[in-house]
């Protein structure tokens, strides 16, 4: 979750001090890595889900503050837009509690929140982009009340110096401008966390980068934006463009975007934090009072506040995270490529595939990132975002193949192997990865269902584009609550 910050303006001295403090934090991180001060015996997984709020007609409801008050659970928080909420599921061991424990915990939390949200006339929906969202819903008034979002908005536009240009061409073409970052709020994601030993971090991050395109192809769930039918995972180009601090002239110079896939395989978690300082100016140069060097000298663990705040304003698709829990530091990979939804069952299947496949790839004798160019992994992500489960993706030893074939022939067995190594038996793995298998066999994921259902309603009722999207979204919500995997949803 984002760190709260006060409403203020920054001076040149603030930026100078912040740069110095970030370097001190980076030096402290390097020292802790050298001295092996990190927790390594308690690998855990975690999950964040961003959701949209809608009214009884499945139109966006700008009431996240009211909904948060009604839910009254510290696991929930606001997000960028007034129609967004986020839940942070407590970290756990991957195999803790048996096959149904995680699903029961998540469904219980979501059902409670839905019940409380309903008491104020709103409902929750897990999807990558809310299909009923209109351009007028993402103006300045849609920014959440937390001063952090206003400050972030102001700093991005101060750096950019002009309105954001958003252009995506799919079945339809969207071309528009925005004078706030609120269009980013249209992007709601599922974020899987994986805590690892720092010595293993590079391997797991590289593995996550290598499979990002495959993940998106399988789980695409964002085909509509502002009434236009665009990419299967329109969230990817929208997120890239809605937080871009670079005017056109700066882009041409090769300056890196803040939504960033990266540019190389890494050898240490330190590489990523070092890149953050080298390439990206601070958006929120807020210094705290802790001296990381003195803290280490006392034998305590620094929170590296400046480093982590800066890291939170660089939107890598696989983000490194440094955190301190129970007075012990750890690092984790935050996998951010996937949209929210459609169901908890689909979400946990996506998680099992991700956790199993990264473990399987890390255990291979010759890692995939030694046989695959970094640019090929990035190309896979963009191709998958555009074409979804119909995408053709590159994989070493196979060339360019349909995503479903790649998963069925090569990657599903690896995911099974990875989960087996993590302590999951056949009876536990099969239902989870079976959902992934059936998505590939049927060629149906959230994006495909949304597109098919929209066209079915449009063709049979002639009710108009927005009304067809609205009816489709209402049907989506009904099926979401049934928790049947999306590949089983009918179109009728």
Instruction: Please state, in angstroms and rounded to a whole number, the distance separating the CA atoms of residues 347 and 367.
Output: 27
Structure tokens at 106: 């998540």
Q: For the chain, which residues make up each domain, given as ranges?
A: 12-488
Question: Residue 339 contacts by C-beta under 8 Å, 6 or more apart in sequence?
Answer: 127, 128, 129, 188, 189, 190, 219, 220, 221, 222, 233, 235, 446
Question: Residue 432 contacts by C-beta under 8 Å, 6 or more apart in sequence?
Answer: 348, 349, 352, 353, 419
Question: Residue 391 contacts by C-beta under 8 Å, 6 or more apart in sequence?
Answer: 213, 217, 380, 383, 384, 402, 403
Per-residue confidence (pLDDT) for residue 1, from 0 to 100: 39
Structure tokens at 473: 């979204």
CATH class of 12-488: alpha beta
Which long-range CB contacts under 8 A does 252-255 form with residues at least 24 apart?
none
- Pick from 152, 106, 142, 114: nearest CA to 5: 152
Instruction: Please state, in angstroms and rounded to a whole number, the distance separating the CA atoms of residues 367 and 370.
Output: 6
pLDDT in tens, the chain (492 residues): 355 555 477 899 999 999 999 999 999 999 999 999 998 766 799 999 999 999 999 999 999 999 999 999 999 999 999 999 999 999 999 998 888 999 999 999 999 999 999 999 999 999 999 999 999 999 999 999 988 899 999 999 988 999 999 999 999 999 999 999 999 999 999 999 999 999 999 999 999 999 999 999 999 999 999 999 999 999 999 999 999 999 889 999 999 999 999 999 999 999 999 999 999 999 999 999 999 999 999 999 999 999 999 999 999 999 999 999 888 999 999 999 999 999 999 999 999 999 999 999 999 999 999 999 999 999 999 999 999 999 999 999 999 999 999 999 999 999 999 999 999 999 999 999 999 999 999 999 999 999 999 999 999 999 999 999 999 999 999 999 999 999 999 998
Instruction: Please state, in angstroms and rounded to a whole number, the distance separating the CA atoms of residues 240 and 443.
Output: 27
- Torsion, Cα 113 118 121 125, to 10 degrees, reads 60
Structure tokens at 372: 């695959």
Instruction: Please state, in angstroms and rounded to a whole number, the distance separating the CA atoms of residues 67 and 115.
Output: 10
- Pick from 221, 205, 193, 196: nearest CA to 52: 221
Per-residue confidence (pLDDT) for residue 10, from 0 to 100: 86
> Any idea which residue has 């961003």 for tokens?
50
Per-residue confidence (pLDDT) for residue 99, from 0 to 100: 81
Instruction: Please state, in angstroms and rounded to a whole number, the distance separating the CA atoms of residues 10 and 450.
Output: 44
Per-residue confidence (pLDDT) for residue 292, from 0 to 100: 97
Q: Which residues, listed in sequence order, are joined to residue 85 by a DSSP beta bridge?
A: 51, 78
Per-residue confidence (pLDDT) for residue 4, from 0 to 100: 57
Per-residue confidence (pLDDT) for residue 3, from 0 to 100: 55
Q: What per-residue string of b and e applies to 408-421 under the rule 16 or more CB within 10 Å gives b?
A: eeebbebbbbbbbe
Cα distances (angstroms) measured from residue 302 to each of 30, 125, 285: 12, 38, 18
Give Rg (Cα) of the chain.
22
């Amino acid at each position: 979750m984002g760190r709260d910050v006060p409403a203020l303006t920054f001076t040149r001295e603030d930026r100078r001090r912040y740069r110095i403090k970030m370097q001190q934090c980076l030096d402290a991180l390097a020292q802790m890595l050298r001295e092996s001060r990190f927790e390594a015996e308690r690998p855990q997984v975690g999950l964040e889900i961003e959701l949209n709020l809608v009214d009884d007609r499945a139109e966006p409801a700008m009431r996240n503050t009211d909904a948060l008050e009604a839910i009254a659970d510290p696991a929930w928080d606001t997000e960028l837009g007034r129609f967004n909420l986020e839940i942070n599921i407590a970290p756990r061991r991957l195999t803790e509690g048996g096959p149904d424990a995680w699903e029961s915990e998540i469904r219980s939390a979501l059902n409670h929140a839905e019940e409380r949200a309903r008491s104020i006339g709103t409902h929750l929906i897990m999807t990558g982009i809310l299909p009923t969202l209109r351009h007028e819903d993402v103006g300045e008034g849609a920014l959440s009340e937390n001063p952090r979002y206003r400050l972030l908005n102001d700093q991005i536009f101060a750096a950019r110096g002009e309105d954001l240009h958003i252009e995506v061409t799919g079945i339809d073409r969207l071309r528009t401008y925005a004078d706030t970052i609120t269009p980013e709020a249209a992007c709601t994601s599922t974020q899987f966390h994986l805590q690892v030993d720092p010595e293993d971090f590079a391997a797991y991050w590289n593995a996550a980068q290598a499979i990002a395109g495959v993940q998106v192809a399988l789980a695409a769930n964002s085909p509509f934006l502002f009434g236009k039918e665009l990419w299967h995972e329109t969230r990817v180009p929208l997120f890239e463009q809605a937080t871009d601090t670079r005017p056109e002239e700066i882009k041409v110079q090769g300056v890196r975007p803040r939504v960033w896939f990266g540019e190389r395989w890494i050898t240490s978690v330190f590489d990523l934090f070092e890149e953050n300082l080298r390439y990206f100016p601070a958006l929120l140069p807020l210094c705290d009072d802790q001296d990381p060097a003195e803290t280490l000298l006392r034998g305590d663990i620094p929170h590296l506040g400046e480093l982590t705040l800066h890291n939170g304003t660089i939107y890598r698709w696989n983000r490194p995270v440094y955190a301190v829990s129970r007075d012990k530091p750890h690092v984790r990979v935050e996998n951010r490529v996937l949209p929210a939804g459609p169901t908890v069952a689909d979400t946990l299947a996506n998680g099992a595939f991700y956790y199993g496949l990264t473990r399987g790839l890390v255990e291979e004798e010759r890692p995939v990132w030694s046989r695959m160019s970094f640019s090929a992994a990035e190309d896979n992500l963009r191709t998958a975002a555009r074409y979804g489960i119909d995408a053709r993706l590159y994989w070493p030893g196979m060339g360019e193949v349909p995503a479903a074939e790649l998963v069925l022939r090569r990657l599903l067995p690896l995911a099974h192997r990875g989960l087996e190594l993590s302590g999951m038996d056949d009876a536990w793995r099969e239902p989870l990865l079976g959902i992934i298998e059936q998505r590939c066999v049927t060629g149906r994921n959230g994006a495909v269902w949304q597109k098919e259902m929209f066209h079915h309603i449009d063709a049979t009722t002639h009710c108009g584009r927005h009304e067809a999207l609205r009816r489709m979204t209402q049907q989506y919500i009904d099926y979401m609550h049934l928790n049947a995997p999306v590949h089983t949803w009918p179109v009728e």
